[in-house]
A and B are shown apart, each in its own frame.
Chain A
């Protein structure tokens, strides 16, 4: 039973444009959401997070939006850069317990 889903396995975006990665979850107990970036042959690295008490968190070019009623969050990258090309994982946790990950979205930013 997959509690965190990323329905788009891949996404291609032109350099300079906005990248929007989506994530859905089913467990209403989740109160903390994270995005991780993963390059080949490396472990996932933390990118940005959001608590369930917020609906938006911004860090430079990265913004995460949370819609609790829809159980949906998204990651916006603007402007997209070729170095952003990687696999992005959405993750969620409840009360600081284990993290549940989505299956990832492979982002390709075309120069």
Chain B
């Protein structure tokens, strides 16, 4: 059973398009995150959600918006995609011990 699953695994799209990446966790965790791994392999936090409320929002362009329909889901919507958005995006959730569990990643390529 996959604990944190995100879809799609690969996404190729043109500049200017709007796309979404879905994430679901079946661990019963209260907090979910989106991370971006750029070309330098640096994992950077984008958003975190705790009980459907955004608690941390780093300096991410407002073209990116997280949507959490319920505690088990945190989807990432990206509007007006740019070339620089190409990266691998990881969804994660964490338990009360502070341990984060990651999805397998979504490789986004903007052409």
Contacts and interface: CB of A to CB of B under 8 A. Distances in A.
Question: Which label, helix, strand, loop or mixed, suits the secondary structure of the B interface?
Answer: strand
B98 A32 contact: yes
Interface residues of A, number: 23
Interface in B56-73: 56
B2 to A, nearest CB: 10
Given A46-B101, A87-B41, A98 B96 contact: no
Given A98-B48, A98-B56, A42 B41 contact: no
Contacts of B48: 97-98
A46 B100 contact: yes
A96 B101 CA distance: 14
A43 B45 contact: no
A63 interface: no
A93 B48 CA distance: 13
A7 to B, nearest CB: 13
Contact of B100 (A42, A87, A99, A103): A99
A12 to B, nearest CB: 18
Given A34-B99, A43-B90, A99 B45 contact: yes
B7 to A, nearest CB: 13
Interface of B: 4, 33, 35, 40-45, 48, 55-56, 90, 92, 94, 96, 98-105
Given A89-B43, A103-B42, 19 more contacts: A2-B42, A32-B98, A34-B100, A42-B104, A43-B102, A44-B90, A44-B102, A46-B99, A46-B100, A46-B101, A49-B99, A96-B94, A96-B96, A97-B48, A99-B45, A99-B100, A101-B43, A103-B40, A104-B43
